[in-house]
Structure 1
Amino acid sequence: MEKKLTKAFFTKNFDLSSSEKKFLTNDILSMEWLGNIKPVNSNVSTYQTATYSFEEIQVFTVLIPNNQISKLAQKAIQLIQKYIPYQAVVIAEDEFEFVIGLCDKRINQADKSKRTIEQHYFSPVLSKLFKNELQTGLYDALAFEKLDKTNLETVYKSYVQALANYQTALLTGTFSKRSGVRTEKDMELLATMDRLEAEIASLKVAVKKENNLNEQVKLNVTINKRRQEIETIKKQLSEE
């Protein structure tokens, strides 16, 4: 069922920016459509509102050069997600590693044929060569028989929740498939932690540039406070 997705498909059908065209040409080796999940082949019903449409879930792979996963995977996934109007699971891979990418797509009210991406969800870099207990937990959670098949929206959200549960597991050391409500809370905590870590990185740069000792002290105090906040979040994520 695999079908090659050509670069010409994107350049002819979509208004790519010059940087996107350059990225597509230089950094993406190939793309494939692996298949889809829809009512006719899954016996799972569609779900649609004025804002969201889950008619089918498309699955794609994007091949990028070896040893470039950390640098290019998210960008490659974002490119596919931006121009494919369906809900999609996109896997960016090289010979040894891969990243799974999902996103929330809202119907563009000005043009119903287009979608507005609200948020991306990415897995960490995963190895093809080995898997540990946490990765085994992730793969088990992603198995079709383990998904919530109330409709295609719940199927897609099951994928998102599995990635969130894995991110939590990397901090707690144990993979646990949590409820949807708990997973949403965890996702909020993970997003807050990412923001705090980004703030710490910015503050460290400011410390290096600051010549005034008193200001350096203030900045370092703030850094320590943010680190304490991160530790508090880790404890909250570890709670059952």
Structure 2
Amino acid sequence: MSIESQPNPISSFEDFLARLDVPKTCELNKPIFKKMFLDTTDGKKDILDATDKKALKEDVKKIRWLYTLKSNTINIASYTDKTREYPEVAILHIELSRPDRFKRTSQFINRAIPYPLVLIFTCVIEREQRLCLTLADKRINQADKEKWIIEDCIHTKWISMSSVSAAELKFFESLKVSSLPFTNFFAFYQALIKRVIAIKCAEHSGDFSIERAGNPSEKMSNTLRLDKLRELEKLDSQRLEISKKLKNIKQMGKKIELNTQIKKINDKIANIKSSL
């Protein structure tokens, strides 16, 4: 489903940051030099492998640590349980020269920095300034409590700053810090994840919606919608594979069989999209 573009009140990265409205007390705005990532180890080996180092060298122009949200900079409590530690949330800006390996870059930054991160990537793509938001849940490695395990790493698509859709504008507005829960940093971060999942759902439904009544918890709500998005990706891959086979089939009976399979997949996709 196409998502209608709106007259654009956001035309730059600075406009986007203004929408977040992060309190001045949280502002850090310090550069992170590439050497920090190259020097980081897990105690035994480098955090970055050879491909990571190549992506860091060739793709990353600049990294800035924009904000640190912790109990003494904003009125949000830290969170700790048996599996998670959320003492603070950091917001980083990564300026890329090319977007191809941003997922890999996101992974190694998350491995190198132990806090929950909001990674804001920007890149000029097809002569347009674009932005991509990436978040990743982390939990304590029970086998070695000095380490952490990155769970779901989720990201938006590359959003054009010159043609923000109605759904994308709602998404940006929903990220305003004062509109997020201040209970603790885990609740705060889950609410951000919920919004990224919602804009990913909007790519299919056209509607940006973060409220889903009846779900028992923020975490479970996020998991349910994320599972549906993954199922859509899986079905879309299956449909593409069958469509490729169909082009080379001449036997009418086989063509009918494959078209029937595509019809069933389309029905499943439609059902999932209607529930997003």
What TM-score range do you get, normalising by the shorter chain? 0.7 to 0.9
Report whether the alignment pairs 1:86 with 2:115: yes
Q: Which residue number corresponds to residue 135 of structure 1?
A: 168
Contact 1:73–1:93 (Cα < 8 Å) also in 2: no
- Indicate which of 215, 221, 227 corresponds to 2:266: 227
Shift of the 108–175 alpha-carbon distance from structure 1 to 2, 3 Å rule, reads same
Looking at structure 1, the residues matched to 207 and 251 of structure 2 have their Cα atoms a distance apart, in angstroms, of 44
Q: Which residue number corresponds to residue 49 of structure 1?
A: 81
Shift of the 151–221 alpha-carbon distance from structure 1 to 2, 3 Å rule, reads same
Looking at structure 2, the residues matched to 13 and 82 of structure 1 have their Cα atoms a distance apart, in angstroms, of 9
The one-letter code of the counterpart of 2:33 is: T
The one-letter code of the counterpart of 1:38 is: K
- Indicate which of 232, 235, 245 corresponds to 1:196: 235
Looking at structure 2, the residues matched to 155 and 168 of structure 1 have their Cα atoms a distance apart, in angstroms, of 20
> Which shows bigger deviation, 147-156 or 193-202?
193-202
Q: SS state of the match for residue 59, structure 1?
A: strand
Shift of 1:199: 2.2
Contact 2:132–2:157 (Cα < 8 Å) also in 1: yes
Q: SS state of the match for residue 153, structure 1?
A: helix
Could you say which structure has the higher helix fraction? Answer: 1
Looking at structure 2, the residues matched to 104 and 161 of structure 1 have their Cα atoms a distance apart, in angstroms, of 12
Looking at structure 2, the residues matched to 133 and 166 of structure 1 have their Cα atoms a distance apart, in angstroms, of 11
Unaligned 5+ segments in structure 1 are: none
Aligned length: 234
Q: SS state of the match for residue 142, structure 2?
A: coil
Looking at structure 2, the residues matched to 236 and 26 of structure 1 have their Cα atoms a distance apart, in angstroms, of 41
Looking at structure 2, the residues matched to 25 and 176 of structure 1 have their Cα atoms a distance apart, in angstroms, of 38
Q: SS state of the match for residue 62, structure 1?
A: strand
Shift of 1:212: 7.0
Shift of 1:102: 0.4
Q: Which residue number corresponds to residue 74 of structure 1?
A: 103
Looking at structure 2, the residues matched to 148 and 55 of structure 1 have their Cα atoms a distance apart, in angstroms, of 15
Shift of 1:217: 4.6
> Which shows bigger deviation, 127-136 or 26-35?
127-136
Shift of 1:214: 5.2
Looking at structure 1, the residues matched to 62 and 253 of structure 2 have their Cα atoms a distance apart, in angstroms, of 54
Identity %: 24
Q: Aligned Cα RMSD in Å?
A: 2.2
Contact 1:77–1:91 (Cα < 8 Å) also in 2: no
What's the TM-score, normalizing by structure 1? 0.87
Shift of 1:63: 1.2
Shift of 1:185: 3.3
Shift of the 13–184 alpha-carbon distance from structure 1 to 2, 3 Å rule, reads closer
What's the TM-score, normalizing by structure 2? 0.77
Shift of 1:162: 0.7
After TM superposition, list the pairs within 5 Å mapping 1:50-65 onto structure 2.
Answer: 50-65=82-97
Looking at structure 2, the residues matched to 197 and 204 of structure 1 have their Cα atoms a distance apart, in angstroms, of 10
After TM superposition, list the pairs within 5 Å mapping 1:125-164 onto structure 2.
Answer: 125-164=158-197
Shift of 1:150: 1.1
Higher relative contact order (CA 8 A, sep 6+): 2
Report whether the alignment pairs 1:98 with 2:131: yes
Shift of 1:225: 1.4
Q: 1:131-160: per-residue Cα shift (whole Å, max 9, x none)?
A: 232122101111111101111001001100
Shift of 1:171: 2.8
The one-letter code of the counterpart of 1:222 is: Q
Unaligned 5+ segments in structure 2 are: 1-27, 216-220
Shift of 1:215: 5.0
